[in-house]
Amino acid sequence: MFKTIRNAWAIPDVRKKLLFTLLILAIYRIGCVIPVPFVNIETLAANSMLTSGNTVFAYLNTLSGGAFGNATIFAMGITPYINSSIIMQLLCVAIPALERMSKEGEDGRKKIATMTRYLTVILGLIQGTAYFFYLKGWNYLSTKGAGQNWFAAFVIILTFTAGTALIMWLGEQINEKGIGNGISMILFAGIIARLPSTLYYMFPIQKATASMSYWYRATQGEWKFYILVPVFILLFLAVVWVITFMQDAERRIPVQYAKRVVGRKMYGGQSSHLPIKVAMGGVMPVIFASSILSIPQTIQMFVQNPGPFWQGVFNAFNPSGWLYLTLSFLFILAFAYFYTTIQYNPVEMANNLKQNNGTIPGIRPGSPTADFIKKILSRITLIGALFLAVIYLVPSIYSAVGGLTNLSMGGTSIIIVVGVALETVKQLESQMMMRHYRGFLD
């Protein structure tokens, strides 16, 4: 990977794209440390629920690169854009008019993208309003008086919403002029920026002097460092290896093309294959499940003093609870099949093979081919969904056993980081291949 980056840096055009991507990410990180007006930052920084622990707030803080916990202009992060993309994909399946629009080529995709942008701003406005009520309810505002509170509400909510729109624009600039997927790169930058503080909160160790006995120091938490940290490192490396392996794993369906004679030349007759990736949905099923399950704790931000019943409901959806983990497992499986359904159409794939005189050995063209592809997709999707669910749940189980924090969402973060790194390297290789660069794969 490092050799690929070094070789890409030697090409002027690719180097400009890399520098532009780094510039956009630097702008994003600057916005993550600029607080919004009328918020008491010192008091807010003391709230560990927003920065550590197994809560949705800590998860949002990790994805936003620490901006959520500090109430900065980019506090909403890229989450509203991801949620709007999910909603638009669902609507394109449920509403025939939107489905036809999405199949109209470039013009249809532009219209869908415009709707996604407007929906992103609306979701950013809703989440910004929820966050304002949370800050106001817990006395994190530095204003007094009804008039000042109304003005502060307008400024804070407007700033959060504008920050959401600006992050979306930065991501689109990376897509057009940089390297990699803009949204993924912003997520990658936010997670990497939070890694040092995440490790700090993960293994809290009390100070101990040399005169203290070993067992006293062990009771103060040093055993977590000397035992759990090496285990965590080995587990992390194993998870990274599995993710790297599964990202490139695919099921290849053999395809045989019939021979045809045009004039004096013969075409076709060659053998090929139809590749189907095991992890075809990537991290999207995990993001889908996390977004749905984060709704109860988002509602909790509006409620200041819930009763015993509603407090029990909110506690049941805590990411460290068994109910949340069970629902996460089921939702990941369900969304993996849903994502496969909207991405792959076995009937259309079978028709394309038939039109190009291609057949799967031993399978008749037409409906039998579509049924065969559907069966293969179902099996591959199950394997990929189980892979995502295990990667998502292993850090959570490890954190429950070791009594650690900031690991319930660790699986999602690892999948995002490794997936973005692999995808970026592939794009660099394709950019160099387009310029006939030799030796970059040696």
From the first residue on, what is the mean pLDDT of each consecutive set of 10 residues in the chain (442 residues)?
A: 73 87 93 89 71 63 81 89 83 84 83 92 90 82 68 91 94 88 85 73 48 45 60 76 80 79 64 80 74 71 70 72 81 85 81 82 86 89 86 72 55 77 80 61 48
Rounded Cα–Cα distance for residues 42 and 55 (Å): 21
Distance CA 93, CA 108 (A): 15
Distance (Å) of CA 194 to CA 197, 205, 410? 6, 19, 12
Q: How far is CA 148 from the centre of its chain?
A: 38
CA end-to-end span of the chain, whole Å? Answer: 12
* Residue 331: both structure tokens together: 């939702």
What is 273-327 written as a DSSP string? Answer: EEEEETTTTTTHHHHHHHHHHTHHHHHHTT-SS--HHHHHHHHHT-TTSHHHHHH
pLDDT value, residue 115: 92
Domains, the chain, ranges and CATH? 1-203 (1.10.3370.10)
Q: What pTM value is reported for the model?
A: 0.76
Closest of 161, 151, 97 to residue 128, by C-alpha: 161
334, with CB counted inside 10 A (0-12, 13-18, 19+), is middle
Cβ(97)–Cβ(104) under 8 Å? Answer: no
What pLDDT shows up at residue 103? 79
* pLDDT at residue number 163: 94
- Assign 3-state DSSP to the chain and report helix, strand, coil percentages, each to 5: 70, 5, 25
